[in-house]
Copies of this chain bind each other. A is one copy, B any other.
């Protein structure tokens, strides 16, 4: 499927152009939508973005949802019941649905006017993974409806990010191993970030640590840290800080300064040091989470190895009724 073709087709089918973009999914797929929500919140002057965990969308359907809305639904396996239902209720309301999944037999596709069966795995270029595809869809919607001054800069970033990741993964391989060795017996981690990457702080907590390692974890927005959460800071509690390049870097730097003074177990993953700065200033911040996801996969694999807890092990998901 071609992103710009899909969006121009939808836009032509609407009465007055696309007016809303709803990003709807669960867990890890919802995490992949956060950068697009942040992008549209920041850049759009007309398009209205909304982001929902699928079951809340289904039960608490926004009155704004209409025939000129686009609802993007993502489900890796493609059969998450509440995500399939979200696409179904969106279609019933007359909205245009775009479904993303890794499964070409997915039930989600039954309710998707437009379909992206995406690539996945170590060898895929990240521009073909759902996070980047959803970002491209969002950027394209903005361009088509109200214009986006940094469209070309964004496309330049899309072409560069996979190469930056490849180099970044080499750079962190040894430090991820050292991290895993150092923290192998810890039971809890706090993950800090800001801006476009906050969703991936949440994602590393709930998917990589809670789901895949059965470890306690929580995300903290770097800006919110100083308004409550920082009171748990001490020399025993581990923090992972994902530092963005771009406008919210100041928030992450403030957290770093505090952590360096009052904490001792601090792992810093810095997008700037990892080379993201070759992407244009106007758009670089939106690429931080794409980099962080791949880099943090190296960390979680190292942790899984040293803990002898394979990333695929589940006790409930797909095993018991819920």
Contact = CB atoms under 8 A, between A and B. Distances in A.
Interface of A: 26-28, 30, 38, 41-45, 48, 50, 53-56, 59-60, 62-64, 80, 82, 188, 194-195, 205-207, 210-212, 214-221, 223-224, 226-233, 237, 247-248, 250-251, 254, 257-258, 262, 285, 314-317, 322
Nearest to A233: B316
A216 B233 contact: no
B30 A258 contact: no
Nearest to A208: B228
A318 B314 CA distance: 43
A19 to B, nearest CB: 10
A230 B59 contact: no
A232 B248 contact: no
A314 B227 CA distance: 12
Contact of A223 (B62, B82, B194, B214): B82
B26 A224 contact: yes
Contacts of A205: 218
A44 B56 contact: no
A228 B53 contact: no
A230 B56 contact: no
8 contacts: A41-B50, A42-B62, A53-B221, A56-B194, A56-B223, A211-B227, A217-B218, A258-B322
Contacts of A233: 316
B56 A195 contact: yes
B322 A223 contact: no
B53 A316 contact: no
B218 A218 contact: yes
A28 B268 CA distance: 27
A43 B60 CA distance: 10
Contact of A211 (B50, B231, B314, B315): B231
A303 to B, nearest CB: 15
B59 A43 contact: no
Contact of A45 (B63, B82, B194, B212): B63
Nearest to A232: B210
A262 B316 contact: yes
B27 A45 contact: no
Given A231-B211, A254-B322, A322-B230, A248 B59 contact: yes
Contact of A206 (B82, B224, B237, B315): B224
A17 to B, nearest CB: 16
Given A59-B250, A206-B224, A214-B232, 16 more contacts: A26-B224, A26-B226, A45-B64, A56-B223, A56-B251, A59-B247, A59-B251, A60-B247, A188-B188, A206-B228, A206-B229, A210-B231, A212-B231, A216-B216, A231-B314, A231-B316
